[in-house]
Structure 1
Amino acid sequence: MEKGVTVNAAASKTVSEAAVAKPTEKNTVAEIKAYLSENGIEFASSAKKADLLALV
């Protein structure tokens, strides 16, 4: 009898797929900056979290 393999597709997300969703207050500043960079949105390196979220 053959044993099947079950793959949990939700567990196989890559970092770039996870970054597709718009950041919220729950995200870190680094995650928000990564999202902005990936989407070609310029921001000041010294920008605060609230300022970065306003750019989203």
Structure 2
Amino acid sequence: MEKSVVINAAAPKAAVKSVSKPTDKNTVAEIKAYLSENGIEFASSAKKADLLALVNA
């Protein structure tokens, strides 16, 4: 008699793309995530105003 083993591995989470551009109401982390998702480079030490300028460039 053969035994079968079923492994249910969790599927990798799909990256959720931000639909709308961040505003000054978003956190720095949210803005950085948006920039990263859209392939926009930024300095890790960039301030919120600098990050928002990149979003709107």
Moved over 2 A (4+): none
Larger radius of gyration: 2
Q: Unaligned stretches of 5+ in structure 2?
A: 1-14
Residues in 1 aligned to 2:43 and 2:23: alpha-carbon distance in whole angstroms: 18
Root-mean-square deviation (Å):
1.4
In structure 2, the partner of 1:53 is 52
Aligned mates of 1:33, 1:16 — CA distance in 2: 14
Give the structure 2 partner of residue 34 of structure 1: 33
Give 1 or 2: higher helix fraction. 1
